Amino acid sequence: MDFAIVPEVPTTPAEGTGIDSIIRQTRKAEDLGYTGCFMPDHYVFEEIGTLRPDRPTYDAFMTLAIVAQHTTNMKLVTHVACAIFRHPAMHARLFAQIDEASGGRAIAGIGAGWTKAEFEIMGIDFPDVSERLKMMDEQIEIMRGLWNEETFDYDGTYYQIKDAPCLPKPVQFGGPPIMLGGSGKGILRRAGRYADILHMVPQTGKQGTTTPEEIKKLTDDALVDKLALVREEEAKAGRPVGSVKFATTVFNLIFTGSASESADTAAGVGSLFGLEGPDVLRHPALLIGTPEEMVDEMKRRNEKHGLELVGIHPGSDEGLERFGREVLPKLV
């Protein structure tokens, strides 16, 4: 498995600027053996239905361009870029330039957008999820066309371009891998048809927000059916089994000192979402336990689901360091 850091941006000036903090964290993470950096793409962060205008938000592409200059081997991943925020030709150019700046380390994470309140604040139209997904489809067609053709024409429902160039081209042949973000059936089907990576998080597109109910639904058992749908669509598209890599993010990393403490902590977290403790310990967005339990759990997720790429919200410098020193070496 590969593990990527999701940098934590400080919220007070005393902690230093966010950019300085991101550089420090990513350099430290690479030294510890993390193999990627996941960078969110938002105007305003939201946490389980609550907007956080107090939290700094940096442009994902600008930040990854900076990280590219301070790292050597890390994959640079948008987590995920919102298709509606930018014209597809701009997305194509930005990904190509990140790929050039990093020597071929970009992964093009793309999603249809999900935080409705964020769109409303910025005065951006927020169509129904089915329409947003169709817009995303066109975006990806245009991006791949611009990466692979000298000039590219496209006449779609939402976007039209004519004799459009994209220079520089990406370093990676064919362009950066495409990573789709989400877990609704629309995303799962699309991932099977044309994505390289599927990053699964609780379903948000229809509601336009994260809800406890959707967090509760994305259980370890639910992943089985969701991944089966991806593999079914792979087969229909004539793609080899396993063409789509499976990725998730651990949004809450909680170290404990014993198995009994792990069980108690899981029960407490589960009470917030209506989940039983064992389901919490296996939940794809959570990782709770001693270092040894974390190693065993990540191996189990890999063996059961084929989990290949995991983003880690470290929560603190201590979490970043501890996971890197006590867990990562036993998983890579």
Asked, as a colleague might, if the bond just before 230 is cis with ω within 30 of 0, I would say: no
Describe the crossing of helices 60-70 and 18-32 by its angle, rounded to 10 degrees: 50
Helix (H) and strand (E) counts for the chain? 12, 15
Q: Give the burial string for 50-82 (b: 16+ CB within 10 Å, else e).
A: eeeeebebbebbebbbbbbeebeebbbbbbbbb
HSE, CB side, 13 Å, CA atoms: give it for residue 173.
0
| Helical segments of 249-314, H only | 259-273, 277-282, 291-305
According to DSSP, the residues that pair with 280 across neighbouring strands are none
Q: Average pLDDT for residues 218-235, to the nearest whole number? A: 97
Residue with tokens 């205008």: 53
- For the chain, what percentages of helix, strand and coil (3-state, to nearest 5) are there? 45, 20, 35
Coil/strand/helix, residue 110: strand
Domain boundaries, the chain: 2-330
pLDDT band at residue 203 under the 50/70/90 scheme: confident
Mean pLDDT of 60-69: 98
pLDDT at 55 (0 to 100) = 87
pLDDT grade, residue 218 (50/70/90)?
very high
Three-point CA angle 49, 113, 80, nearest 5°: 100
Lowest average pLDDT, out of 42-56, 143-157, 306-320, goes to 42-56
Tokens in use for 13?
Answer: 């000036």
Q: In the predicted model, what is the mean pLDDT of the chain?
A: 95
Report the C-alpha gap between 81 and 98 in whole angstroms: 13
How far, in Å, are 58, 96, 224 from residue 77 at the CA level?
Answer: 14, 13, 25
Specify the CATH number of the domain 2-330.
3.20.20.30
pLDDT of residue 205: 61
Whole-number pLDDT of residue 13? 58
| Average pLDDT estimate for 47-57 | 86
Outline where the chain has alpha helix (H): 18-32, 60-70, 88-102, 116-122, 129-148, 185-194, 212-217, 220-236, 259-273, 277-282, 291-305, 317-326
pLDDT class of 52 with cuts at 50, 70, 90: confident
**Cα–Cα distance measured from residue 76 to residue 64, given in angstroms and rounded to the nearest whole number:** 6
pLDDT of residue 210: 78
Q: 81: closest CA among 111, 47, 121?
A: 111
Token digits for 133? 């997904």
**pLDDT classification of 9: cutoffs 50, 70, 90:** confident
Q: Give the per-residue pLDDT at 12.
A: 61
Q: What is the structure's pLDDT at 237?
A: 98
Mean pLDDT of the region 182-211: 90
Q: Could you tell me if 170 and 96 are in contact, meaning their C-beta atoms sit under 8 angstroms apart?
A: yes
| 124-160 pLDDT, tens digit each | 999 999 999 999 999 999 999 999 999 999 999 999 9
10 Å Cβ neighbour count for 269?
18
Percent of the chain with pLDDT over 90: 88
Instruction: State residue 169's pLDDT score.
Output: 98
What pLDDT band is residue 47 in, cutting at 50, 70 and 90? confident
Contact 119, 125 (CB under 8 A): yes
pTM: 0.95
Least reliable range by pLDDT among 112-121, 164-173, 208-217, 251-260: 208-217
